[in-house]
Structure 1
Amino acid sequence: MKILIVGAGNMGTTYAESFLLSHSITKNDLLILEKTTEKADFLKEKGYKNVISEPNDKISRVQLIILAVKPQDTEVLFSILKNYILPSQTVLSIMAGVKIQTLKNSLGTSKVIRAMPNLPSQIGMGMTGFTADESVSRDELFFVQNLLNTTGKSLYFSEEEKIDAVTAISGSGPAYIYFFMEAMIEKAQEMGFSHSEAELLVTQTFMGAVHLENRSNYSCEEWIKRVSSKGGTTEAALNIFSNEKLTEKIGNGLDAAQKRAKELGE
């Protein structure tokens, strides 16, 4: 299958490299549309032969078109792309908030898949939620899922509205983790540790906790009980979190993210 990636930003280049590393495609089968001269030149220096700066007839020769551009950059681009897209081609969009129906109307095609990856996709540890129009065949969906899985793991949802929730949970999720980590690092420094010491203490704790949870059948609640002891240090911290209604506040934040994702699609 020949693939076009529109946009050579973080996710566009992540997909290109992941597809090639997994031997899903070769460089001869990959076409990249990148209007920024510096990025296009950089790709060519890395051995990407098929790099174009403007839409042309080559687009009609691919089977899958991946839209990895910002939503605000699409109005002019879509009006031009529409002239080259065929009904037989499948379109995969990773643009936040842009609904399948909007893509169908803008591009004049029905075979549309909408996905929401996250930042760890850059190191093969990503989480992607995706959905598709009913006109996308089972084989096409299976092929695209295999491509998405080269960057980590993926989940298919038949209900498109769940993609806004995916955006709030896993799409934006890494920022919430970094926020909590930064708060712990800052407090560790207040307790007398150097920045490098604080960073190591916190990052290794997060990494170890996640790996431990992944390798067991225990729930997070069960792990919390295993770390805690009656009248101990962990319980003292958890009591503060509970009194401050931290769980409720986290939920409110996720609700706000989901609401904003829906607003972007309106």
Structure 2
Amino acid sequence: MVNKTLGIIGGTGWLGGAIARAVLAKGLVPTANLILSNRSGSHPLAEQGARLVTDNHALVDRSDVVIIAVRPEHFASLNINATGKTVISLMAGISAQTIVAQTSASAVVRAMPNAAVEIGQSFTPWYCFAEVAATTKRFVQSLFECVGTAAEVQQEDFIDYLSALSGTGPAFPALLMTALANQAMAAGIPADIAQLAAKSVVVNSSQLLVGHDAQQMIDALVAYRGVTAAALQVMIHGQFEEQIGEALQEGAAAARRGLQA
């Protein structure tokens, strides 16, 4: 347990709320040291001990570390003064320099969790702008380990790229699962069977990757020259990886355009 006061602006939204629940469950900070902003001043998280405020300024004043968990387009209207505070931004496309300029924060961390925070399985890359104390870095790592795994990156641009990779959460697996099911149905497989088969591949069978190297698994299956190999070869020769690369670059470009907006 860390004796810091943590404030979450947007702390009862889907992302801020998921982090708040995890922080309480893991006992990262004393219960009374968690402050959430909420327009109504009421929320079930208050029943678990979190303090609710309706004023973001009051939250910042009472907090050592402030998480901003709002949509990027709402940032400009926050108008908070975080002098002497550490600000952790969960917003895509808002640069650390912009956050410093608008909030006067003494330290800024940009981080990009994904929707898997809800089940404690997010991967969260984070980046420290300028000098950030080692104790603060340890706190940030512990904070995001409450909702999964985390790693510090050394370039802010990496956060923008990873916004299009890990930040997408279940989007890519959902697209693959939908494509597999649709193609099976197009081949005449009943919809319920097609969906079960696709879900088994994407959700269940992929758990094998927890204990296996992905490239080694692909190489072994291709070398076996069976049904799976035939299917994989079509995807490989169809430039599947190149298409993924183009998708990630386009997503990263969208994040960078946000930085410049």
TM-score computed with the length of structure 2 as normaliser: 0.90
Q: Indicate whether 1:67 and 2:64 are aligned.
A: no
User: Cα distance, 1:73 vs. partner?
Assistant: 0.6
How far apart in 2 are the matches of 1:231 and 1:125?
34
Please name the residue that 2:100 is paired with: 104
> Which of 243, 252, 260 is the matching residue for 1:249?
243
User: Cα distance, 1:240 vs. partner?
Assistant: 2.3
User: Cα distance, 1:46 vs. partner?
Assistant: 4.3
CA contact (8 A) 2:116 2:169 kept: no
CA contact (8 A) 1:110 1:135 kept: no
> Which of 128, 141, 147 is the matching residue for 1:145?
141
How far apart in 1 are the matches of 2:251 and 2:45?
37
CA contact (8 A) 2:164 2:252 kept: yes
* CA offset digits 1:38-80 (Å, max 9, x no partner): xx53336644552122234453221110000011111121x2x
How far apart in 1 are the matches of 2:56 and 2:110?
21
How far apart in 1 are the matches of 2:250 and 2:50?
43
Please name the residue that 1:53 is paired with: 54
How far apart in 2 are the matches of 1:92 and 1:117?
12
Please name the residue that 2:128 is paired with: 132
User: Cα distance, 1:125 vs. partner?
Assistant: 0.6
Please name the residue that 1:262 is paired with: 256
CA contact (8 A) 1:185 1:199 kept: yes
What is the percent sequence identity of the aligned residues?
25
**Superposition map of 1:198-217 within 5 A:** 198-216=194-212
* CA offset digits 1:16-41 (Å, max 9, x no partner): 00001111124311111122x3xx53
Letter in 2 for 1:223: M
How far apart in 1 are the matches of 2:50 and 2:172?
38
CA contact (8 A) 1:4 1:59 kept: yes
Please name the residue that 1:21 is paired with: 25
Please name the residue that 1:11 is paired with: 15
How far apart in 1 are the matches of 2:238 and 2:67?
44
How far apart in 2 are the matches of 1:63 and 1:73?
22
User: Cα distance, 1:163 vs. partner?
Assistant: 0.6
How far apart in 1 are the matches of 2:76 and 2:44?
25
Please name the residue that 1:31 is paired with: 35
Cα distance change, pair 22–102 in 1 and its aligned pair in 2 (3 A): same
> Which of 218, 224, 244 is the matching residue for 2:218?
224
Letter in 1 for 2:246: N
User: Cα distance, 1:253 vs. partner?
Assistant: 0.8
How far apart in 1 are the matches of 2:209 and 2:31?
38
Contiguous gaps of at least 5 residues in structure 1: none
Please name the residue that 2:157 is paired with: 161
Contiguous gaps of at least 5 residues in structure 2: none
CA contact (8 A) 2:8 2:69 kept: yes
Cα distance change, pair 248–44 in 1 and its aligned pair in 2 (3 A): closer
Bigger CA drift: 201-210 or 18-27?
201-210
Q: Indicate whether 1:178 and 2:179 are aligned.
A: no
How far apart in 2 are the matches of 1:154 and 1:49?
24
How far apart in 2 are the matches of 1:173 and 1:15?
15
How far apart in 1 are the matches of 2:169 and 2:137?
25
Letter in 2 for 1:34: N
Letter in 2 for 1:4: G
Cα distance change, pair 86–214 in 1 and its aligned pair in 2 (3 A): same
